[in-house]
Amino acid sequence: MRLRFCGVRGSTPAPGAEFVEVGGHTSCVAVLADHDDRPRLVLDAGTGIRAVTPMFGGDAFVGTILLSHLHWDHVQGLPFFAAGDHPDAAVRLLIPDGGEGAAAVLGRAMSPPHFPIGPGGLRGRWRFDVIDEGAVVLEGFAVTAREIPHKGGRTFGYRVGDGDGVFAYLPDHLPAACGPDRRAALLLAEGADVLVHDAQFVAAETDLAGAFGHATVEQAVALAEQAGVGELVLFHHSPARTDAQLRGIAAAVGGAGVKVTLATEGRELVI
């Protein structure tokens, strides 16, 4: 399978010349099967989901959008996903189960007076469902969902495999020193070929990271080493972090006991 990074920022988009190399769109990763040239599974729907549309050449998206949680930077691209907002689209959108219907929860932010239309205004056939912890098959991929700590609503990390390779996706994660939350992250990441992980802050910002429920780069590296992953991809970059600063961060952790790379928009990773 292949991962295509369509949006790699956290919190809010980062436009401007100093952010072009890494990219300024918020979280979205397209997952493609080996035999496909179009994704059927998309993780998160930040502004980066707009980059999924060109993969369809004017055709409609048919597949599943799997959200890690419902913060703005993970859903704000949804009404601008033209391949999904298409008369011929067939989309299943899944959110972590919070005890309330998915369409109703999404509609709190995506409806007047905040936005001109609600989820029901998207064209095509849309199904809004919930997902809970456990294992499920989505679009031919084996997906394991587990709740991980992150402030401001229930948040899931995912482990995705196709029989040949496995990656873990933990875009927003406040690492816990111990306890079941820590174990959940380890179980998702354990032995994965690739770990895509929250890296919004650095060690000097540990208190700020904790206040907002995010990880530091150093915590991401520690988790990757403990889990024995093949490659750690730093993701969910701070919107204030320039290309030069992110290159410096990657270089500084280059001596870690695991391969560390940066998620950049347009990068495709074969697993």
pLDDT tens, position by position, 100-130: 899 999 999 899 999 999 999 999 999 999 9
**Range 83-94 average pLDDT:** 98
Pick from 215, 128, 233, 142: nearest CA to 176: 215
Task: Give the rounded percent of residues in the chain with a pLDDT score beyond 70.
Answer: 97
Tens of pLDDT, residue by residue over 159-206, are: 999 999 999 999 999 986 555 566 899 999 999 999 999 999 999 999
Q: Is the pLDDT of residue 255 over 80?
A: no
In this structure, the strands spanning 166-170 and 156-161 are antiparallel
Task: Give the per-residue pLDDT at 256.
Answer: 72
| pTM value > 0.75 | yes
Task: Give the per-residue pLDDT at 65.
Answer: 98
Task: Give the per-residue pLDDT at 179.
Answer: 55
Task: Give the per-residue pLDDT at 30.
Answer: 98
Mean pLDDT (the chain, rounded): 95
**Range 3-27 average pLDDT:** 98
pLDDT band for 131, please (50, 70, 90 cuts). very high
Tens of pLDDT, residue by residue over 35-81, are: 999 999 999 999 999 999 999 999 999 999 999 999 999 999 999 99
Domain residues of the chain, as ranges? 2-270
Name the token pair of 66. Answer: 């799997």
Task: Give the per-residue pLDDT at 257.
Answer: 86
Helix (H) or strand (E) holding 131: strand 125-131
Contact criterion met (CB below 8 Å) for 233 and 196: yes
Name beta bridge partners: 268. Answer: 4
Task: Give the per-residue pLDDT at 84.
Answer: 98
Residue with tokens 């809004």, as numbered in its chain: 128
Task: Give the rounded percent of residues in the chain with a pLDDT score beyond 90.
Answer: 91
Torsion sign over Cα 64, 85, 155, 264: positive
Name the token pair of 191. Answer: 């032995």
Q: Which of 155-179 are b and which e, b meaning 16 or more Cβ less than 10 Å from the residue's Cβ?
A: bbbbbbbbeebbbbbbbbbbbeeee
Fold that domain 2-270 belongs to in CATH: Metallo-beta-lactamase; Chain A (3.60.15)
